[in-house]
Structure 1
Amino acid sequence: MPYTRTEIPQNGASRARQPGQSALETLPAEILQKILRNLELDSGKQRSGVINAFDHGESSCLSLEKPTLFSCLLASRVLYANALPITYRSVTISRMSTFNHILSQITGNPVLGRAIRRLDLSDLKVASPRREFSNSLHGMLCLTPILNEIYLPHDRNLNETLSGAVLQILLTGLPHLKVLDFTNCTSLTAGHSDVFAQSPPTAMLPIKSLSLTDSRTDHEATTSLLPSLFPRLAHIETMMLSKSNVTAEILNAIPSTARITHLAVNHCPLLETESFVDFLLSHPAVKDTLEVLHASIDPVDLDEDSTAHEEQLTERLLQNAPETLRSLRLAGRPMTSASVAHLKTLAATAEDLSIGTGLRIHDLETLFLDTVDDPSARANHQTTQEESEVDSKYTAVLEPMERAIAICKLRQRLSTTPVPAHAAGKPSLRYLDIRAMDFIEQSKIRCSILLGDHSASLDVIAVSDRLMDRSGTLRDICASVGWKVKREGRKCLLMRR
């Protein structure tokens, strides 16, 4: 039967709306913008949970399979006018051409500059030093007065020559700034001691998160600006200071009203351990609020005398560690068997633990056993070690059976070691990093109860990538007891399935 079109009477037909008069477009601006803020910026790459809305290659195209802010920009003039400021709330830039384009846009339309809340320049790179970048950045900062977060370029061709005017507006000219990232930036410690010259000493900064990671310079330039900056951080909560020139004296200058929850001071050459431990255990800003502490060092810098002193300081820190700690990383710091009891206490509440030097796999196994020292486990562990040494003499003969023998030994060890009562209660420790341990001790993970139900809460164990042999022995051993192996950079992750 041929199709015939049915005519709808004129009085029953819906009249076509004029452009800009749809139900969505006629909503009040504040309601329409609230709706648009729930849409995604589905263009470009994603970094740290924020979509890169502006920096996409020429070959990339906009995906319109689901409603996005960019599809709204193409829909109508009303939606464009309401969606455009929202797209500028979070700006991520990795090319100088994009940086110049954004600067031109907010210069011509200052309303867009006042819409920017987050500015990420961390991936911005150039082939040669550009001193004029400092002036351009100063102009952009002047046009973004309500900025909440800024991540400066990690490229030292750009950040080594930041002027005092740029630092001054970053530290004193942005009253809403909460996150300030100086990662890999040496300008903060290379002069500019007059940044706070026009600001009274009692003027506190609104900054809650500060990163100075990898910003160390010559020791002579250390005390240029940091001693003036830290006493003004009354609201600071997160401090990423690894590989910087921070000292214990500078840390003690932090106001007692601050409440620091995250502190990273890995590989800080001027930070003396004894003064730092005193700071952690006595300063009001950290002693009752610290949740994350990363304080790894390079063990090659320690001689025999300093190692013994460092062991005492490490034990003191573990013994008096804040009960609020959830992540503790002390890779490279010397530890002894006396530290095991304190680590066992931390393992009951912490979720992330990085072990220092001097411990054995047996010491770590006691963290998950009912007693600190289990003689039967020690004997079993010693037997396994001796058998492994014997087997190594016959590697050429037993090569085809090596994996099967290793798997049998692990299963026998797991079946003969009693599972502690608390294993079913899921202790808190979920991530254990043992890469700082001696390599021979790390290799004993292949026959350790850490791979069994004894460590029921443990989800990931990080070991040296040197354990990833070409034959895949470690991978097969782990797979036999419900673990998988993944290489990630210079570390190898054993993950419970």
Structure 2
Amino acid sequence: MHHFKDWINKMHNKSPHPPGNSPLEQLPNELLFRILDFLDSHSSPSVAGMRDWFMFNDIPSSPNNTQATRPTLPCLSVSHRMHDVAVPILYRNIKLVQQEISDEGRNFQFFRAINLNARLPSLIRTLDLSDSRISGWPWLIPRAMTLIPRLRSLHLQLSNLIQLDDEKLQTVFFGMPNLESLTIENTRTKTHGSSLAKVLQTLESANPTSVSRIRSLICRTDSDPNHSGTPAESVEFIDSGVLGRFLQRFPGLQALDLADTSVNPKSLLAININSRLQYIRITKCQDSDTATLAHFLASHTAVNSSLVVLDGSGITFNERETSSILENLPPTLRSLNLDGSMMTSNHVPLLQKLSRNLEELKIGNGLTMNDVEATVLGPCFKFHPANTRRSVNVARNSKDAPGQELVLGPMRDAIAICKLRQRLASVSPIAAKIHMKKSRLRHLNLGSMDEEEQGRIANSVLLGEQSKPLELIVVSGIKSEDYLVLGKVSEGCGWKDKWFNGMVWVERG
């Protein structure tokens, strides 16, 4: 604070730089662009979605994060120099909002602006029309495709896609040479879930040989439990042949998101063998034959040599299917979510091997805290077992009379911290395995474990220095009063915590 006040006093007697001549504006274009891009709160993920990892999306604001994003728009009025650099950032990702189409509407003004300024259309990389529940759609999408030649990512509503004629449908899927990512969302309650399958049948009958350059294909159904009103129907592909033949026409496919859809897993086996999938999201896919789905994940050439992110949460793979998947996942994998699957201590060696490359892991049902500790530390470290440790819930449920709690509460917390420090001190490297590759896990979600086992995090060696680079642990099912104890324990060994919707994020400070 004192340094900031000194800086203000120093600047009092200085006149401002003329527009365009400040030291900031004299920076090279590339560097100034990076600075303004850092201010943008809507930076786009990679086209294929590889960095759009499941835990990253689920995490609320970090307890360590003290920075705030700022809009780029005010930079336009600083000077011509700043305007020229900021405009590409401002127009890079466009999302049209819900409103009625009119000559005075913002959506109409947007298209009029890019029609009059030849520079603007070439700057747009992402156009999101998924929330634009407006009239005039039959002309809006074709106009967007005509005016925005370098569009790389397009988001559409299923209800609007089915309004297009055959020629425009062909253009969306096969006729936009720069389009790399296509997202189709169904959030309209009046749109039948089978409508997309009918669209694919139309495409097949019109031109069955066209090949698409799209690398990222996303099909989502609104499954948000907080969504007001009647939920939309799940997009369904009951006929495996329709979707299978469609996926064969995407030889460059790298990302496939079919979350909350009804998919026959046989259609996934028909994915083009030249594809190299890096991102697969099949969260809560309904009507799934888990055996066929596990076979696809374990054996298909598009998966077993290139996969980076696998989000299969909500799918109940049995123990054998889980083993088959874990045994065949490639070393390229960085993010894994199998929170609905059955896991046992027999899977620990497989998880240990994967953790040498994984950065994010959300485990399945059935593991104990001992299993998790062995997964992260077991190959390279030895430590005392914690047979006598108790979960936070058990410790707090055995409270003394309220009058004694003021004294015994802090004592109990201090004892818990001492016991944790004793366990952490017991961790030592295994000499014979000192050169073995350690776990690379940074994010670990334990939300699928038994609540009693999750409570044992308060006495876990995962909170020690030896678990680095682990920096975030997520637990759930902990009561608010128990969270207070966990908070004190984590703070005592250099971690910070945050309570969010019944879940606790514990982050290394």
Q: TM > 0.5 between the two?
A: yes
Q: 1:60 Cα shift?
A: 10
**Offset from partner CA, 1:271-320 (integer Å, 9 cap, x none):** 32211221122221111111211111255xxxxxxx7xx11110121122
Q: Is 1:448 aligned to 2:455, yes or no?
A: no
Residue 341 (structure 2) pairs with residue 333 (structure 1):
yes
Superposed displacement of residue 190, structure 1: 5.3
Instruction: State which drifts further: 61-70 or 166-175.
Output: 61-70
Counterpart for residue 302 of structure 1: none
Is residue 133 of structure 1 aligned with residue 137 of structure 2?
yes
* 2:436 matches 1:434: no
Of residues 75, 94, 97, the one that matches 1:94 is 97
Q: Which residue of 2 aligns with 1:28?
A: none
Q: 1:348 aligns with which of 321, 342, 356?
A: 356
Aligned residue type for 2:319: E
Following the alignment from structure 2 to structure 1, what is the Cα–Cα distance between the partners of residues 502 and 197? 32
Unaligned 5+ segments in structure 1 are 1-21, 23-32, 51-58, 74-82, 300-306
Question: Equivalents in 2 of 1:455, 1:481: separation in Å?
Answer: 13
- Alignment correspondent of 1:171: 173
CA distance in 2, matches of 1:352, 1:43: 25
Q: 1:390-423 CA distances to partner (integer Å, 9 max, x unpaired)? A: 7743444433433222212212222234455668
1:242 and 1:265 in contact (8 A); partners too: yes
Residue matched to 2:418? 408
Residue 484 of structure 1: CA displacement?
A: 0.8
Looking at structure 2, the residues matched to 338 and 42 of structure 1 have their Cα atoms a distance apart, in angstroms, of 47
Is 1:195 the equivalent of 2:203?
yes
Describe the SS at the equivalent of 1:358: coil
Bigger Cα Rg: 1
TM-aligned CA distance change 1:423 to 1:257, over 3 Å: same
**Aligned mates of 1:386, 1:270 — CA distance in 2:** 37
Give the direction of change, closer, same or farther, for the CA distance of 1:225–1:85 in structure 2 (3 Å limit).
farther
Question: 2:323 pairs with 305, 315, 321, which one?
Answer: 315
Question: Which residue identity is paired with 2:276?
Answer: R
Mean Cα deviation higher: 205-214 or 181-190: 181-190
Counterpart amino acid of residue 484 in structure 1: K
Local SS of the residue matching 1:180:
strand
Confirm whether residue 384 of structure 1 aligns to residue 389 of structure 2. Answer: yes
The alignment status of 1:362 with 2:379, answered yes or no, reads no
Shift of residue 371 of structure 1? 5.7
Partner of 1:79: none
> 1:250-329 counterparts in 2 under 5 A?
250-297=267-314, 310-329=318-337
* Secondary structure at the counterpart of residue 152 of structure 1: strand
Aligned pair 1:47/2:50, yes or no? no
In structure 2, the residue matched to 1:54 is: none
Q: Distance in 2 between matches of 1:176 and 1:267?
A: 31
Distance in 2 of aligned mates of 1:431 and 1:423 = 23
- Take 2:289 and 2:457, find their aligned partners in 1: how far apart are those partners? 33
Residues 126-148 of structure 1: per-residue CA shift (max 9 Å, x gap): 5xxx4533432232223323322
Change (3 A) 1:119 1:346: closer
Query: Quick check: 2:241–2:267 contact (8 Å CA) kept in 1?
Result: no
**What does 1:7-22 align with in structure 2 at a 5 Å threshold?**
none
Change (3 A) 1:45 1:454: closer
The separation in 1 between residues aligned to 2:130 and 2:481, in whole angstroms, is 34
Preserved contact between residue 395 and residue 402 of structure 1 (Cα < 8 Å): no
> What code does the residue aligned with 2:420 have?
L
> Could you tell me whether the CA contact under 8 Å between 2:282 and 2:312 is conserved in 1?
yes
Q: Distance in 2 between matches of 1:391 and 1:409?
A: 16
SS across alignment from 1:332:
coil
Cross-structure match for 2:259: 242
Letter in 2 for 1:136: L
Q: In 1, Cα distance between the equivalents of 2:194 and 2:164? A: 8
Alpha-carbon separation, structure 2, partners of 1:416 and 1:481: 15
Q: For 1:479, give the aligned amino acid.
A: E
Residue 317 to residue 162, structure 1, CA distance change in 2 (3 Å): same
* Partner Cα distance (1:240, 1:107) in 2: 33
- Comparing 314-323 and 349-358, the one that deviates more: 314-323
Measured at CA, do residues 367 and 125 of structure 1 come closer, stay the same or move farther in structure 2, by a change above 3 Å? same
Instruction: Provide, for residues 337-372 of structure 1, a one-character-per-residue CA deviation record: whole Å limited to 9, x for no partner.
Output: 111111111112211111000110011111234469
CA distance in 1, matches of 2:456, 2:90: 53
State the Cα distance separating 1:258 from its structure 2 match. 0.9
Instruction: Report the CA distance between 1:455 and its aligned residue.
Output: 1.4
Could you tell me the TM-score, scaled by structure 1's length? Answer: 0.74
Aligned position for 1:204:
211
Question: Structure 1 60/377 Cα, relative in aligned 2: closer, same or farther at 3 Å?
Answer: closer
TM-score norm. by structure 2 comes to 0.72
Residues 20-59 of structure 1 show CA distances to partners (whole Å, capped at 9, x for unaligned) of: xx9xxxxxxxxxx988994877899632348xxxxxxxx9
What does residue 182 of structure 1 align with?
Answer: 184
Structure possessing the higher relative contact order (Cα contacts under 8 Å, 6 or more residues apart): 2
Secondary structure class of the residue paired with 2:491: helix
Conserved? CA contact 2:392–2:455, under 8 Å: no
Q: Give the drift of 1:331.
A: 0.6
CA-CA distance at 1:180 after TM superposition: 1.1
Letter in 2 for 1:439: E
Per-residue deviation, 1:328: 1.2
Q: 8 Å contact 2:169–2:203 — kept in the other structure?
A: yes
User: Which stretch shifts more, 33-42 or 388-397?
Assistant: 33-42
* Distance change (3 Å), C-alpha of 1:144 and 1:228: farther
Give the secondary structure class of the aligned counterpart of 2:202: coil
Q: Distance in 1 between matches of 2:130 and 2:426?
A: 53
Unaligned runs of 5+ in 2: 1-19, 21-27, 46-70, 100-104, 188-192, 223-232
SS of 2:213's equivalent in the other structure is coil
TM-superposed deviation, 1:323: 2.3
Q: Report the CA distance shift for 1:363/1:145 in structure 2 as closer, same or farther (over 3 A).
A: same
Shift of 1:435: 0.5
SS at match of 1:328: strand
